[in-house]
Amino acid sequence: MDQQNDDDIRIETRVTLSDDFYRLEKVSFRQPGRNGSTEILDREVFHNGPGAGVLPVDRERGLVLLVRQLRIAAKLNGDAAYLVEICAGMIDDGDAPAETIVKEAEQELGYRLHAIRQVFELYMSPGASAEKLHLFIADYRPEDRVGSGGGLPEEGERIRVLELSFDAAWQMVESGRIIDAKTILMLQHLRLQGVAQPDRMLSEAGSAPS
């Protein structure tokens, strides 16, 4: 099997094809070919990141906060136009991912979060996109509500805030109503932590061992 070394990949040229809201680039690079040769390939790279997202959890009441918002790409594919997702946003230049989370949670959800912990740092679609996502989990309680959320109306954001039980949110994954990857990852993470069924855990704890 050939060795695969990062240092053997040489970027030759980078050309910007489009630079409007996001940037699309065509990259030409050299990679090792067979029998000691090298070959040149072209790839397009879409720069739509980096971003950060958060799943706020109220463990006492067994609830999570999600958002529902228009995603025109999903509509173009023939899926629902309004997707249910975790709160997320693009990271402004110079901001740390956790700072983005704090801002987005206030803007989109109207909540102040506590105990913000990073869970994943991942690429959403590395074959075509440079978007790197930082995903967090955080705590919230009813008294942390500081506004109505909804996003920035001047940017055209009309975000609806959903507060759902763990089970109801997971049901939406299983029934295919939640189809956003970062949201499914985070809800799955919550289940793996073993806090996803507080009612069942409580009743099991209180029942006689079988």
Give the one entry of ligand GDD, Mg ion, none that residue 53 binds, where binding means its C-beta sits below a cut-off of 5 to 8 angstroms depending on kind.
ligand GDD
Distance CA 41, CA 36 (A): 16
Distance CA 184, CA 86 (A): 9
By the rule CB under 5 A, 62 interacts with Mg ion: no
Q: Which of residues 82-101 bind ligand GDD (CB under 6 A)?
A: 88-90
By the rule CB under 6 A, 186 interacts with ligand GDD: no
Give the one entry of ligand GDD, Mg ion, none that residue 202 binds, where binding means its C-beta sits below a cut-off of 5 to 8 angstroms depending on kind.
none
Could you check whether the bond before residue 126 is cis, i.e. omega within 30 degrees of 0?
no
Question: One-letter amino acid identity for 79?
Answer: D
Q: For 136, which DSSP code?
A: E
Distance CA 128, CA 69 (A): 24
Residue 26 or 160: the one with the smaller Cβ distance to Mg ion is: 160
Least distance (Å) between residue 75 CB and ligand GDD: 14
Q: Say whether 20 sits in a helix, a strand or coil.
A: coil
Of 94, 127, 153, 156, the one binding ligand GDD (CB under 6 A) is 156
Cβ 188 vs Cβ 195: under 8 Å: no
Q: Is 128 flagged in the annotation as binding?
A: no
Of 53, 62, 89, 149, the one binding Mg ion (CB under 5 A) is 89
User: Can you give the binding site for ligand GDD, defined by CB under 6 A?
Assistant: 21, 48-49, 51, 53, 88-90, 104, 131, 133, 152, 155-157
